[in-house]
């Protein structure tokens, strides 16, 4: 499937069952001083290099940004691609299953912190909110856990993910 966007990029959506039996996802909080998407919550990922397959991009970026080696990821599939409207990216999300308890190695130039959020909490934090970005007000779907708000392209990816894993989020597991 293709999606509108001048630049192709890919993200990894790492999932795991925690010790509490809850399905969780790994997100990153981007640094506040970045030029693009500062302070936003996202999945590890980035631009596709010339000649690189998109799934390879997702795995490479996860290793570069949070130290998640590709040998620690079992690919489970892909979600529908989504565009970014301001920066004109086409984002291709790939879902990977990982073991819990990974020790993250954060790339400090881009990533402020790694967030491990239970998907039930993410789902429960849904709201439709009015946001203002670059002086433009708009209403959008958001997911808030503690002080972390997920919205935009990552919010659309989360929406697709939650629709597919709804029956897997309970403590009883799969």
Q: What is the CATH number of the domain that holds 56?
A: 3.90.79.10
Check pLDDT > 80 for residue 174: no
- Cα distances (Å, whole numbers) of residue 137 to 8, 14, 129, 131, 169: 27, 32, 10, 6, 33
Domain presence at residue 132: no
Domain presence at residue 15: yes
Domain presence at residue 135: no
Domain presence at residue 73: yes
Domain presence at residue 104: yes
Instruction: Give the CB-side neighbour count of residue 83, counting CA atoms within 13 A.
Output: 10
pLDDT of residue 34: 74
Query: Could you tell me which residues are beta bridge partners of residue 142?
Result: 127
Tens digit of pLDDT for each residue in 1-55? 556 657 899 999 999 999 899 999 999 999 867 777 677 999 999 999 999 999 9
Domain presence at residue 154: no
Tens digit of pLDDT for each residue in 68-119? 999 999 999 999 999 887 778 899 999 999 999 999 999 999 899 999 999 9
- Cα distances (Å, whole numbers) of residue 54 to 88, 89, 91: 17, 13, 9
Q: Which domain holds residue 45?
A: 7-120
Check pLDDT > 70 for residue 144: yes
Domain presence at residue 139: no
pLDDT of residue 120: 94
- Cα distances (Å, whole numbers) of residue 63 to 49, 71, 73, 89: 15, 10, 10, 21
Domain presence at residue 27: yes
What is this structure's pTM?
0.90
- Number of folded domains that form the chain: 1
């Amino acid at each position: 499937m293709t999606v509108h966007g001048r630049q192709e990029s890919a993200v990894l959506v790492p999932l795991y069952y925690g010790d509490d039996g809850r399905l969780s996802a790994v997100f990153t909080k981007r640094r506040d001083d970045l030029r693009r998407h500062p302070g936003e919550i996202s999945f590890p990922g980035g631009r596709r290099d010339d000649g690189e397959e998109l799934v390879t991009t997702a795995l490479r970026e996860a290793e570069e940004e949070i130290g998640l080696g590709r040998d620690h990821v079992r690919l489970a599939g892909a979600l529908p691609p989504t565009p970014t409207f301001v920066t004109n990216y086409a984002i291709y999300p790939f879902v990977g299953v990982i073991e819990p308890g990974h020790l993250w190695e954060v790339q400090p130039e881009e990533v402020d912190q790694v967030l491990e959020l239970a998907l039930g909490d993410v789902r429960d934090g849904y709201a439709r909110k009015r946001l203002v970005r670059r002086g433009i007000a708009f209403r959008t779907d958001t997911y808030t856990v503690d002080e972390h708000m997920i919205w935009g392209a990552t919010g659309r990816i989360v929406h697709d993910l939650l629709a597919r894993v709804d029956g897997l989020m309970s403590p009883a597991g799969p």
